[in-house]
Amino acid sequence: MDKDVGTEAAIRRWDRHAEKFSEGFDEQGDLHREVFLNPTLFDLMGAVDNKKILDAGCGNGYLSRMIANQGGSVAAVDYSKQMLTIAKRNTNSELDIHYHHGNCESLDFLPNRSFDIIISNMVIQDLANYRQAFKEMHRLLKDEGAFIFSILHPCFITPNSGWVKTDTGEKLYWKVDNYFYEGTYEQAIPVDQEEKILYFHRTLTSYIEALTETGFILERLVEPKPSEEILVNHPSFREDFRCADFMVFKLRKNKFD
Ligand SMILES: C[S@@+](CC[C@H](N)C(=O)[O-])C[C@H]1O[C@@H](n2cnc3c(N)ncnc32)[C@H](O)[C@@H]1O
């Protein structure tokens, strides 16, 4: 664990792993996005048609395309040029999506109060200065706009967390460690590469304090679980009833901010 690894190293790693990361994606994202995240995100967004939406940390752009296909007008930002290349390659030019290269911590090229909704799927745990990013999201929202973001669950996905197994591989329980450590550590992906994707761990308290200090009102907090229909086709997801992988926040910008 190295607290001082910063943005440049994170970008380099995203650029290097962009193609590999995107291999398992189709137009619904990967299986975890399809099962856990997309249903929650679209439920929290509500109707997106004719809404101006920022996809902050768009990656390969699957979510931007899902939103634009439902009538949303999307600005999509990522700081990895490789990710943007993949996103543009996969995007039909008729879709209302404008891709931008930029860091979500400072998006000066976008004017104040531009968006009805800002969505950020699995990005906030990957960026170095989350407090600055929250301020930027607040600046970019229209009055009463919604900021919705998902992260790896900060209480369960911590440095050195993971299943404790028997000698024969049976999963006994999920182990959590180093919860109060705040800083960088490497994710397990890609499994076959030495230099892995970086993750910035913070406690749940830090997230909530930073959001409320920014001026956001917490409207919903969701810990997504698989549906019964999903379990019919993917029974292995039953283990996700033992602990949560993801946490999704819905914040509201106050009318008078
Ligand atoms: C885990 S991927 C998620 C991508 C996409 N939202 C999705 O759900 O597939 C994280 C993405 O966030 C981008 N990212 C991380 N920090 C960023 C920042 N500060 N500004 C812009 N993009 C960032 C990375 O380049 C990467 O494409």
Tell which one of 30, 62, 78, 106 to mutate to probe ligand 1, the residue whose CB is within 8 A of the most ligand atoms.
Answer: 78
**Residue 2, pLDDT above cutoff 90:** no
Distance 239 CA to ligand 1 centre (A): 27
Write out the CATH class of domain 7-252: alpha beta
pLDDT of 156:
96
Q: Which atom of ligand 1 is nearest to the CA of 30?
A: 9
- Band (pLDDT 50/70/90 cuts) for residue 176 is very high
How far is 130 from 127, CA to CA, in rounded Å?
6
pLDDT of 164:
96
251 versus 191: which is more confidently predicted?
Answer: 251
**Residue 68, pLDDT above cutoff 80:** yes
How far is 248 from 224, CA to CA, in rounded Å?
8
Distance 79 CA to ligand 1 centre (A): 7
pTM over 0.75: yes
- Give residue limits of the domains in the chain: 7-252
Tell which one of 7, 106, 123 to mutate to probe ligand 1, the residue whose CB is within 8 A of the most ligand atoms.
Answer: 123
pLDDT of 96:
98
Q: What is the pLDDT of residues 197-212, one digit of tens each?
A: 788 999 999 999 999 9
- Band (pLDDT 50/70/90 cuts) for residue 180 is very high
pLDDT of 21:
87
- Spell out which residues line ligand 1, taking CB within 6 angstroms: 14, 29, 57-59, 62-63, 77-80, 83, 103-105, 121-123, 126-127
Which residues lie below 8 Å from residue 14, measured CB to CB, with a gap of 6+? 21, 79, 80, 82, 83, 126, 197
When pLDDT is averaged across residues 168-183 and rounded to a whole number, the result is 95
